[in-house]
Amino acid sequence: MPLPLPAVRGLLPLAQRMTARGFERRGLSRRRVRAGDVEVNVFDGAGEGRLPQFVVQHGLGSSATALAPVVHRLVPHARRLTAVDLPGHGDSPDHAERLTPEPLFAAMTEVYDRVIEHQAVLVGNSLGGGVALRYAIHRPEKVAALVLVSPAGARVSEEDLASVLSRFEAAMAGDALALATRLYHAPPWYLPIVARDIQRLMLRKAVGEIVRAARVDDSFSPEELSSLKMPVLVLWGRSERLLPPSALEYLRAHLPRHALVEEPYGLGHCPHFDDPSWVSRRILKFSRDAVGAR
């Protein structure tokens, strides 16, 4: 039986509700996965292709449904696809305890342990990239390949981190439109219409706790990044306006030599908004090359 969806409030939640139904029609059933005292919503189902399972992870304040344009393009090519709502995001309930990086990563590691059958291609954007990267470092045997799209977690200066966090704090205070425009290469005309809905997402308990708890010390060390043995692709759009250039410099300096770091034109912090068709094709080609499947 499908899990109940939250009450619709605004245009963006309505779109999320409709997208969730679209997932279900595509064969991605909704279920809850518990990891300790954390419970998350998962869309999961069999695909139609030969590639390994894809696990797709969204960023801070977002949801699995935001990645729908990419998810629908990956399903026909994978044996299985799983898209996860972070704790307190999307249709995942709020965590009873304070959600700091350590319990967040611990919970998501357990969730991934539960949902990954054998090996998976992990695809993560922003904070979701940080989650995927953390899992790949700690569970390398479970990761066939790693796709990091403007990933969080690079070690930057205190000033650069404070600048990023201030944009989320401004969104919580009412300037959600300013944050939203930084996610795109070319912000769409309708963003002002959904700005209030975006602010409601930023005001969720989990988002505020993650923002307030973020520290430079939570970032990945050079040793952790260089330890990655699986194929790695980093996509960092030329129109990235949320994360600082120093984050990309850090990744270039410390990821292993086999990692591919690409800076495509026409893409911003969330390329799945700008050009989901191109992003999906790039993920599929990289995944085929990584695992030798056609």
- pLDDT confidence band for 4 (50 / 70 / 90): very low
- pLDDT confidence band for 292 (50 / 70 / 90): confident
Where are the chain's structural domains?
19-291
Question: Nearest-CA neighbor of 42 among 55, 33, 34?
Answer: 33
Q: Please state the pTM of the whole predicted model.
A: 0.94
Per the listing, tokens 């292993």 go with 256
Return the CATH number of 19-291, one of 3.40.50.1820, 3.30.420.40, 3.40.50.970, 2.102.10.10. 3.40.50.1820
| Structure-token pair, residue 203 | 């005001």
pLDDT at 37 over 80: yes
| Structure-token pair, residue 74 | 């990956």
3-state secondary structure the chain: CCCCCCCCCCHHHHHHHHHHHHHHHCCCEEEEEEECCEEEEEEEEECCCCECEEEEECCCCCCHHHHHHHHHHHHHHECEEEEECCCCCCCCCCCCCCCCHHHHHHHHHHHHHHHCCCCEEEEEECHHHHHHHHHHHHCHHHEEEEEEECCCCCCCCHHHHHHHHHHHHHHHHCCHHHHHHCCCCCCCCCHHHHHHHHHHHHCCHHHHHHHHHCCHHHCCCHHHHHCCCCCEEEECCCCCCCCCHHHHHHHHHHCCCCCEEECCCCCCCCHHHHCHHHHHHHHHHHHHHHHCCC
pLDDT at 6 over 80: no
What value does the mean pLDDT take over residues 1-21?
66
Contact by Cβ (8 Å): 117, 53: yes
pLDDT per residue over 237-270, tens digit each?
A: 999 999 999 999 999 999 999 999 999 999 999 9
pLDDT per residue over 204-235, tens digit each?
A: 999 999 999 999 999 999 999 999 999 999 99
